[in-house]
Amino acid sequence: MSNGRTLAIGDIHGGLRALQQALQRAVVTTDDLLVFLGDYVDGWSESPEVLDFLLQLRTSHRCIFLRGNHDALLLEWFKTGFEKPQWLKHGGRSTLQAYAGVSAADRQRHADFLEHDLVDYHQQDNQRLFLHAGFTHVRGFLNEYFKPMLYWDRSLWECAVALDPTLPKDSQRYPSRLKLYPEIFIGHTPTIHIGSKQPVQAACVWNLDTGAGFTGPLTLMDVDSKVYWQSDEVHTLYPGEDPRVV
């Protein structure tokens, strides 16, 4: 049995340089389990390169790839060719431009990865839950009526952040969703929206999206020790780019 760490990696958004930097700073080894929380694409200019890197990384490392909403949007474009205006507005335009020079074979390889190799969640011993966004069902994510909510929901995080920290967990007012799992690790909603470029814990939820798609760094955390490593602020690694305009 491996003695390696379980390392959770926040949203990447096309920032390959930041991902490589964070992995190097964490001194990742082949003993470690890497749990990627999704949103590999849409933002900075290297979305195809990020997917190539992940496909290669899984040949040498233990990896779990969660599905993010942006990954689902890219797969939809691969399948239909339809350019949703909201997708283009929120990072998709840079992805379209990046794929202009990518071969049909590589596009298909990336589409296959996004469709068949990503998962909606990962659990560890009923103690930890990893998913991209959240869930809405009071009995837990397995009872979710609309499975895409696992990579679209923001209400779980909003609930955790808004919760009165002095409210006892046995109170009838304590949110049921926050009693189900000792620890939940998510991305999706950047912590920079609440003024932090570090991982934020609210109730049992750890948010590791520290704004790599905007003005923050990419974060990688050891989920046991809660020690974390970060890249430089990603915009400094892609000077002259605007991830929402490119």
Summarised one tens digit per residue, pLDDT across range 33-90 is 999 999 999 999 999 999 999 999 999 999 999 999 999 999 999 999 999 999 999 9
From the centroid of its chain, how far is CA 149?
14
Whether 133 contacts 149, CB under 8 Å? yes
Higher local confidence (pLDDT), 246 or 58: 58
Domain count, the chain: 1
Where residue 53 sits, what CATH number does that domain have?
Answer: 3.60.21.10
Residue 245 has pLDDT above 60, yes or no: no
Task: Give the pLDDT confidence of 26-45 residue by residue, as tens digits.
Answer: 999 999 999 999 999 999 99
What's the order of all strands across the beta sheet hosting 6-9?
Answer: 62-65, 33-36, 6-9, 219-222, 228-230
- Which residues constitute the domain of residue 47? 6-237
Residue 243 lies in a domain: no
Predicted TM-score of the model (pTM) = 0.96
The verdict on residue 150 lying in a domain is yes
Per-residue pLDDT tens over the stretch 175-234? 999 999 999 999 999 999 999 999 999 999 999 999 999 999 999 999 999 999 999 999
Tokens of 237: 């690694």
Is residue 246, in this structure, part of any structural domain at all? no
